[in-house]
Every structure is written in structure tokens, then in C-alpha cells.
Structure 1
């Protein structure tokens, strides 16, 4: 291998490694909300909403359900923004390329960390825009990093799911901040340091990522980064002309004559049921994370040290997301490697390979939901394990499915749209939380049972994909016999 080839290989692995660190340490921090809430409560955020009430035995107790509801609202809005803004972010990424998208994401993320750093108990409402900006910036980091899978060919699905797992594991960032806070480091100092880490994002943007997109399939001697000319990053060694933007999206190329229009993709059963599949399971996860703190308060009878112990355990399990997610990609990549049937296209093979992944994801969600609905404190350790595995499979499987089921030129828009639609559906978490705190008297049992039953609806999606693949196979058989 030439010196130039060695340099390209080193750069690609460095891009992969630093992207993994970026997703692992920053991108999905907002989902460590339970750890941050513990710190914010200690600092007195929204404490004015706690009121003295008289208990059944005539003793005075402090009722902080209003405070919990306000924290839940902050997370509801932030998680909504995390997904809904994926739609304009997808258009921004498709239209203007990696550099513009990452600069905008870095700006949002830095503003969010600074706003949390300079918020106080008296300025508790500053959390609403701050956490939303953190979420929106983080999703742009993930979106611009997923294309790195294109640099590694046959391992593409594994890398996409690995990055999504790292995104989930980054929720442990707020656990680190919580532990530092307990050790005497102020919340402001931790967040200011986090803001200064934006320099890392800028260096990666200019030195280790392309200005536009990483194409797939990858041209020979493809190069990128600030040291390479713009034309050099887009032209292969054999002198072929630059690929169009449509050819450089995360998806695999599909022949022009077989491409569906964006409208046809939206109206297809595959897209509709995939949106339902993602939405119902995402709602289950969001409600679990948003109500974890008050749920633990109830199961531990308000014992602060026990609540802290279980929150730490939850945050630590989130670190395992980066180890769980690649299994989903490995399942897909392994099934894709099976021999094709006669006349079967590569896209059909890829689509058939996702069926097992989609089914396993729903099965995990149902098991996780059953455990979460069981009011037995020690069982929550198992709940945490199932939750992190399922989240890793859910988001990695979402990106992997869209990358093989639809034409490449629509990937960014479809990825953004399915996340935006699921975000609208996730707004149901707030009325569910209000229902638990109000008419249900703080007991989430019936809501948890309802959400478990709702999760069963997601089984329709893998069944739909399986029947679609069978239909394509039958059509091939008819064509072959005629």
C-alpha cells in the first residue's frame, strides 16, 4: 500500500474513532435527564412549586408534585425538539452539506450548555430553551456522523448502529456531572467546561469530515478534510466526474428508473408502519425517563440515598448502549451476506435482512415495558438493562431500515420526517404524566399497562416488511414462469 493509501486509512479510522467519542460524550446528553434533575432539585430549581400539605395522619408533608410536573414539561419539550428539529436539520444537511450543518449544531449545543451554566433557581425557566438547544445540537452531531459508515463498506450498518448506541450512552454525561456535584464541583463549572469542548467539534468539522457528504459506494482514493482540495474529495482516481448530492446521501444507490418519488415513499405502507413502530416505542421510553425520578420517589418512600443509588444505576447502564447497539447492525449485515435468490435485487436482500431486527426490537420493548409497569423496586435493575438494549436497537434500527428501504435521494428528508412525526406523538407523555399526578394519585400502574398494550401495535411493522418481501418474491416467481 502506498504512503497516500496509508494516510487515507489512518484518516478514516481517526474519523471513525473521534466520531464515536463525540457521540459517546456529547450528542445524547439530554437523555441523562434523571441525573440532572437530581442536581437541579438540590440547587432548588422550581422549588417554589413545592407546597405544604396535610397527610392522612394529620402531619405536615411537602408536596413537590408541581415541581416534578415542571421538570417533566422541560424534558417533554426538549425530547420533542430533539426529534422534530431533525426534519429541518435533515434538509439543512442534504442541501448545504456537513460543514454548515455541524457549525450550526455546534452553535446550538454551546448556547445550550452556557444557558444551563448561567441559570439559577431564580431563573429556572431558562431550562426550557437550554435543554432544547442541547437536544437539537446533539441530533446534528449524530446525523453528520452516521455517514462515516460509508467509509467502511460492508460494515456500514454496524457502524451506523454503533454511533446510535454511543448517542444513547452519552446520557451518562449528566451522571458524571451529578457525581462531580456531590464531590463539590459546581454545576456552573461543569457546564462551562462542557461549553469549552466545542473546540473539539470545530476541529473535527474542518479536519476530519468532508465539506459536503461522504458518497456511497465510495470512489477509489476518496479523500476529504481541510488539507484536500474540494474537487479532490469528490473525484475518483480513474477520473470519473463528481457524484451528485443525491448519490452522496447515507443510503445505497438505487437505479434512477427504480426510484420512487418522495410522495410515493410517504404514502407507502412501509413508511407509515415504520413511523408507528418508532413512535409508540419512543413514547414508552420518553415517559419512562421523564417519570423515573418521581417513580423512584414513590417506590423508595422518598429515601434520598436510595433514590440516588437507583438513579446512578440507571445512568451507569446507559453507558452500555454503545456495546449493545452494534449487535443490531451485525444481525443486519450478517443476514445481508446470505446468497441471493435468482433475480433478487440487492435492495430486496437488504430489506429482508431488517425483519429480524425490527421484530427483536419490539419484543425487547414489550419486556422492558412489563418490567417498568411492575411496582417492585429491585426489578428496576432489570428494567434498566432492557431499556438500554431496546433504545440502542430502536434508533440504530430506525436509521438502518430507512437506509435500505427507500431511495438514497430521500434519506435525509425521510429520516427527518419520521423523527418529526414521532416527536409529535411523543407529546402525549405530558398528558400521561398529568394523568398519573392527578386522577391516578401518583400511581402509574394503569398508564404503564396501557403503554405496554400500545407497544404491541409495533409488531405490525416487521410483519408488514415480511409480507412485502414475500410479495416481491412471488412476483419474481410469476415473472420467471411467464
Structure 2
């Protein structure tokens, strides 16, 4: 039996490590857009939209605002698709399981990399479907990997946030492509290599992840994936026969002394106060990040007065800080898991304990966003180094905290659908980034100050969510105290 236990432990560790690599190297590459734009501009994509105009002193200058607007539109559509299509992807995941969802995601991601590889300045419009496919395929990798946290019990939230941090850090992939292009390796070669890496995704799909789902809490001797030979743990027939039982196990409390309560329906979850405030919390902060990433290149052009070497320097600095997302995200998970292993208050359920622990995480994320937005609003070039640091810290907390909160606040049988729905609805809100960009380029004559101030004030709405969760926990605590006093 010890041999079987060791084999299961090795497989779980390998699943965790390879999942981290997959999220870190592939899943969120589309958010390294600022680095890829620099490469695409040097190669002349949408270059026909640059026109000669007369400057204030009568000299001829090249106006590339039309080119910038097209690049912004590419990223707006890709980021919208990344979030909005998470809803049908969530239903796909909950209905058909991990293997089908990952095969679909691998197909989309491979098609996206091939489209970028064979795009040319004459076929610049290929970037629109290509970046969207990369975004949707990448979010499917993340969604199917987050269940790996179920394999590690008390560290569940830490692993979920770690994977989300790795997703953020993968935006540095386009920095690597930028540096390779500067050293002589073509954009086509880099993206053909990424296409070939789909073999890694297929290997993990069949050998290191389950066909359906990883249950929580985890049954004894639970195994998954295609195995060679016979196993003394759960066989394929047992797993299939007990599939419904495992799904029920996911909803069973760890404390057997308490009766199993009826779980909320999907509709009840969506109409709950928690879901609505959580949606607002995510939407306002996500809009701030999307507009910042989508307008970073024009902002640096303005602050550096168009000096190419300085633009490249700050673009590289931004991309390098994105690598730190995987280091920042676990802090949020540790905040949410800090109560694990400690005795709970009398009568307090595990879910209530998890919610109470999430308040600090939600509050810190909102505070980070306000600080990041204030720095991004200040038109002082050296300050942007601090902006980059706060941006990657807040982004890591935001997406890791989003997934972790949904996993603790709602039944896990609805996780894929709720995660998909909140991302889809927040995507609709994030479309506002394009009119904001058009407003800056048009009526505000390139000065984003007023738009940035407005977004900073809008970010203050994110504090409503942690306040709501805190008041809910206080109310439950007060009710328990009254019941105890009356008894």
C-alpha cells in the first residue's frame, strides 16, 4: 500500500508542477500585449494607418494615432473574448469535464499561435481572431488547472491563487518573443514553436488530469488520468460507477457532526447579494487594468516624447515585473488559508470560517487598485516603475482572489458556471475601455488625466464587497451568540 501511496503522491506533485509551468508559460500570454505591440509596430503591422501631418512649427511629423487605435481594438476584443467566452467554457467544463474542455482549449490556442505565425503586415487583420483564440484557449488552461487545489486540501486557496499568479506572469512570454526578435529570431519562428508546444498540453490532458473532475474533499486513494497496468486504488469502472457519488462528495462538509444542508441552486447563487457585489468588485478593477495595459504604449510614447530607446526600456521593465505575479499571488492565498488548522468558533461552519478569512483579501485588493490607479494617473515617468509593481501585485490578488472567493462562497458543483458568468459579465463592463481610449485620443487630445481620475474614483466602489462580506460574518456571529445565550 505504501508503494501505491507514494505513486499517488508523486503523480499529484507532478500534476501541480506541470500545471504551474503551463499557466506560467502559456495561459495568460495575451496580457503581455504591450511587448508584442512594440514588435508588431517595428514590423509595420497596421502601418498604412500612419499619415504625415504638419506639426506646430510647420515640420512634417508622422501621426500613428490610427495605428494605435487598431492595436487598442485588437486588445479590447481579445480581452473581452477572454472573459465573455468563459461563460460557455464554464458550462462546457461543468457538463463534459476536464478532458473535453482541455482538448477544445488546446485546439483554440494552437490555431491562435498559427494565425500569428502566418500573419503579415499585409494581413494585419489576422491579429483580431488570433489574439482572441489565444485568450480563450489560455483561460481554459487556467480553469481546468484550478481544480488541482483540491488535491492539496488545506492549501486549496493558496494553490488556486498561485495558478492565477502564474497566469498573470505568463504575460512575460511576449517579452521573451520581443527579446528574441531583437536578437534575430523572427516572430514566425517563435509562434511556430509555441504551436509545437501543444504536445505538452495534450500530455497533461491524458496523463496528469482526470477525465471529469477532481472532487473535494478528496476520497482515499483517489487516482486519475491514464495509467499503465492495474492500480490498487480506484479503478476506471469504480470511478465511472461512483461518478455521481464523487460529485456529491464535493459538497460534503469536512465536519461529519453537522448534517448535510441543501446546496443553493445556480439561480439562487447568481441572484445572491454576494455574487452581485463580487461582480462589481471584479468589474471596476478589471476595467482599470485593461485600460492601463491597452494604452501603455501610447502613454509611454507621450511621457518619453517618443524616444524609442526609452519606450523599449519601460516596456521591458513592465514585462519583467509581470514575472513577479507568480510570486505575489500566493500571499493572497496564504491570507485566505491562514485560518486552516485552527479551531473554529462554536457552531461556525467551514464555509463561514472561509468567508471571514476572505474579508482581508478582498479589502487589500481594492486598496491596491486605488494606489495603482493614483500612480498611473500621475504623469511622471520614473513613477511608472512603482505603477508597474503595484499593477502586477494588484492583478495577482484580483484574479486569484476572484477564483478563491467563488470556490469558498458558493457550492463547488457550480464553480465553472459561476466563474464563467462573473468573467463574462465583467467582460461586458470592460468593453468601456475602447470608448475611454477613443475619448482620450479625440476630445481630450491625447491627455488621459480626466479619464484616469474618473476610473480611480470608480475603483472606490470595490470596497463595498469586503464590507458586505464583513457585515454578513458579523451577523452570523451575532446569531450564534444569541442562540448560545438562549440555550
- Is this a same-fold pair by TM over 0.5? yes
Residue 418 of structure 2 corresponds to 414
**Corresponding residue of 1:31:** 31
User: Contact 1:15–1:209 at 8 Å: present in 2 too?
Assistant: yes
Task: Check whether the contact 1:364–1:386 (CA below 8 A) recurs between aligned residues.
Answer: yes
In the alignment, the residues of structure 2 paired with residue 45 and residue 244 of structure 1 have an alpha-carbon distance, to the nearest angstrom, of 54
1:235: how far off?
A: 5.0
Q: Does 1:319 align with 2:323?
A: yes
After superposition, the C-alpha distances for 1:200-253 in whole angstroms (9 at most, x for unaligned) are: 0001111111111001110111111111689626858xx994444644769978
1:14 corresponds to 2:18: no
Residue number among 381, 396, 400 corresponding to 1:396 in the alignment:
400
1:443 corresponds to 2:473: no
Whether the aligned pair in 2 keeps the contact of 1:222 and 1:234 (CA below 8 Å) is no
Quote the offset at 1:266 in angstroms: 1.2
State how far apart, in whole Å, the 2-side matches of 1:32 and 1:427 are. Answer: 19
Secondary structure, counterpart of 2:261 in structure 1: helix
In the other structure, the counterpart of 1:100 is: 100
CA contact 1:251–1:403 (8 Å) conserved in 2? no
Paired residues for 1:328-343 under 5 Å:
328-343=332-347
What is the aligned partner in structure 2 of residue 165 from structure 1?
A: 165
Aligned partner of 2:270 among 247, 266, 270: 266
Quick check: 1:287 aligned with 2:307? no
CA–CA distance in structure 2, aligned partners of residues 275 and 128 of structure 1: 27
Given candidates 374, 381, 392, the residue that maps to 1:377 is 381
Aligned to 1:201: 201
* CA deviation map 1:94-128 (0-9, x unaligned): 11111100000000000000000000001101100
Unpaired runs of 5+ residues, structure 1, are none
CA distances 1:295-333 after superposition (whole Å, capped 9, x unpaired): 000000000010000000000000000000000001111
**How many residues of Structure 1 are paired with residues of Structure 2 in the alignment?**
480
SS at match of 1:44: coil
Is this contact kept in 1: 2:83–2:427, CA < 8 A? Answer: yes
Cα distance in 1 for residues equivalent to 2:388 and 2:253:
35
CA shift for structure 1 position 79: 0.2
Query: d(CA) in 1 for partners of 2:81 and 2:350?
Result: 35
Q: How has the CA–CA distance of structure 1 residues 245 and 72 changed in structure 2, closer, same or farther, with 3 Å as cutoff? A: farther
Query: 1:232 aligned to 217, 235, 240, which one?
Result: 235
Cross-structure match for 2:178: 178
3-state secondary structure, aligned to 1:61: strand
Question: 1:472: how far off?
Answer: 1.1
Q: Structure 2: which 5+ residue stretches go unaligned? A: none
Cα separation, 2, equivalents of 1:326 and 1:343:
29
**If the length of structure 2 is used for normalisation, what is the TM-score?**
0.95
Normalised to the residue count of structure 1, the TM-score between the two structures is 0.96
Residue 280 (structure 2) pairs with residue 276 (structure 1): yes
1:460 aligned partner: 464
Provide the rounded CA distance (Å) in 1 between the counterparts of 2:68 and 2:226: 47
Inter-partner Cα distance in structure 1 for 2:472 and 2:237: 36
Contact 2:253-2:350 within 8 A present in 1 as well: no
Aligned to 1:401, the other structure's residue is in SS state helix
Relative distance call for 1:410 and 1:189 in structure 2 (3 A) is same
Q: 1:419 offset after TM fit, Å? A: 0.4
Correspondence for 1:51? 51
Is the alpha carbon distance of 1:249 and 1:55 closer, same or farther for their aligned partners in structure 2, counting shifts above 3 Å?
A: farther
Which whole-Å CA distance do the structure 2 matches of 1:334 and 1:283 have between them? 30
Does structure 1 retain, via aligned residues, the 8 Å contact 2:162–2:400?
yes
- Provide, for residues 433-475 of structure 1, a one-character-per-residue CA deviation record: whole Å limited to 9, x for no partner: 0000000000111111110000000000000000011111122
User: Structure 1 residues 54, 163: closer, same or farther in 2, change over 3 A?
Assistant: same
State the Cα deviation string for residues 408-438 of structure 1 (Å, max 9, x = none): 2211111110000000000000000000000
Per-residue deviation, 1:340: 1.4
In 2: Cα distance, 1:432 partner to 1:249 partner = 43
